[in-house]
Amino acid sequence: MRRAFISPAKYVQGEDELLNLGYYVRTFGESALLIAHPEDVARVKAKLDATAGKFNITFIESGFQGECSRQEVARLQAIAKEQRCACTIGLGGGKAIDTAKCVAEGEALIIVPTIAATDAPTSHSAVLYTPEGAFDDYAYFKQSPSVVMIDTTVIANAPTRFLVAGMGDAISTYFEARATARSYSNVNAGLPNGVREGICGDAKGTKTALALAKLCYETLLEDGLKAKLSCDRNVVTPALENIVEANILLSGLGFESGGLAAAHAIHNGLTSLEGTHSYYHGEKVAFSTIAQLVLENADQDELDEVLSFCASVGLPICLADLGVDSISNEELQEVAQKACIPEESIHSMPFPITVEAVAAAIMVADQIGREFKKRKEA
C-alpha cells in the first residue's frame, strides 16, 4: 500500500514573528514579491519596514487586485520576473495566500497568514477563480510552502470571528481523517498531478497524519474557549498559541495527508443556500461536521462533545445559525446532490453514499442542533 505525507519545509509562529520575515527572505536572496491586500500591508507596515531594514532586503509591492485568477497570477509572475524577485510572499487571507502559491509554483514561497481562519496556509494546493470571482479550478504544486510564518500578535488583534471560524474548519479534521483511514481512501498528499509526471497518484494517509488530526481535535477541546477569550481581549496566551497551531498546522497537515470526507462535501453543498453566503468557510464546516457524525451514526457522547464545543465558542450547530431559518425539500435535495457529485470527498466515507442519506443527515443534524440549543437555554 502506498502512503504519502506532505508538509511545509519550515513552520514557525510566535509573538512579533513578522520581525524575522527578512531573515527568511535572505535565505533566498535580497528581494521578495509581496502579494497582499493593501489593508493587510497597512496593518503590519511598521513590522515590514523594520524587518526590511534589519536584514537589508526589499519588498516589491505587487498591487494585488484581490482575486486569485489566472490573469492576476500571470500579471504577478511578470512582475516577479521583471524585478528579479528571489522569492514570493503571500501575506493576509486565503485569496492572497492562494495567489502567492500559484505565482511561486512550488518554489521559494513564504506564507504569512494574518488570520487563523482556515487550514490552507500549509497546503500545496490553491483554488483559482475567474476575475469576477466564480470558481475556476484547483491547482496543485510539487511541494508545500518553503516557510509558513505566523505572528500571533497579529492574529490576536484580528477579529475573533476569524479565529473561531478556523476552529470550525479544524473541528472536522479528525473525523474526516478517521473516515478516510477506515475506507482506505486516497489523500491529497498523493501527488494529484502524478499521471502527468509518470508517477502513480494514488496514496493513502499515514498514521502520522491521523495522529496529528486527533491532536488537533484534543487541542480544540482543551484550549478553544480560552483562546477565544484571549482573542476577544487582543492578547496572546498559551491557549491562543495552541489554537493557532491547531487551526493552521495540525489541521493543515491533518486534512491534506489524512484526507477529507463528508464534512467538507456537505459544506460545498450548503453554499447553494443563499442564506449561508455571509458565513465563513469554517462556520459552515462546523455544522457540516455534525451532519457527518449523524451520517455515520456516531456515538452519542461524541456527538454531544462536538455540539458542546461548538456552542461554547459560538460556532453554528443548526441551519438557523447559518442564516437558513427554513429549508424546502427541493433546497435540501439540491444541497445533498451537490455534496454527492462523483468527485466529492464524501465518497471517502467508509460506506456507500446516497443523496437521500445525506439529505436525511442534514435534516436530523439541524434538529439535533436546535434541540441542543433549547436545552441550553432552558
For residue 123, say whether it is annotated as part of any ligand binding site.
yes
Strand arrangement of the beta sheet that strand 109-113 belongs to = 10-14, 147-151, 109-113, 87-92, 31-35, 58-61
Residue owning grid cell 461554547: 312
- 264 belongs to the catalytic site: yes
For residue 264, say whether it is annotated as part of any ligand binding site.
yes
- Write 368-373 long-range contacts (CB < 8 A, 24+): 368/290, 368/294, 368/303, 368/307, 368/318, 369/287, 369/290, 369/307, 369/316, 369/317, 369/318, 369/319, 369/321, 370/318, 370/320, 372/307, 372/311, 372/317, 373/311, 373/317, 373/318
Which listed residue (151, 169, 223, 321) is catalytic?
169
Helix or strand run (H / E) with residue 365: helix 355-377
Which listed residue (151, 281, 321, 366) is catalytic?
281
d(CA 121, CA 126): 10
d(CA 212, CA 196): 30
For residue 95, say whether it is annotated as part of any ligand binding site.
yes
Which cell numbers hold the place of 77? 509572475
Q: Judge whether 147 and 222 are in contact, CB under 8 Å.
A: no
Which cell numbers hold the place of 336? 445533498
Which cell numbers hold the place of 93? 487571507
d(CA 173, CA 157): 26
Nearest Cα to Cα of residue 241 among 233, 232, 230, 252: 230
Q: What is the DSSP code string of 289-331?
A: HHHHHHHTT--HHHHHHHHHHHHHHT---SGGGGT-S---HHH
For residue 94, say whether it is annotated as part of any ligand binding site.
yes
Q: Judge whether 215 and 134 are in contact, CB under 8 Å.
A: no
Nearest Cα to Cα of residue 55 among 89, 87, 90, 25: 25
For residue 124, say whether it is annotated as part of any ligand binding site.
no
Which listed residue (40, 151, 223, 264) is catalytic?
264
For residue 291, say whether it is annotated as part of any ligand binding site.
no
Which listed residue (40, 124, 151, 267) is catalytic?
267
Q: What are phi and psi of 293, to 5 degrees?
A: -65, -35
- 281 belongs to the catalytic site: yes
Residues that are catalytic: 169, 264, 267, 281
Annotated binding site for NAD(+): 94-98, 123, 129
Binding residues for glycerol: 119, 169, 264, 281
Going by the annotation, the residues of the binding site are 94-98, 119, 123, 129, 169, 264, 281
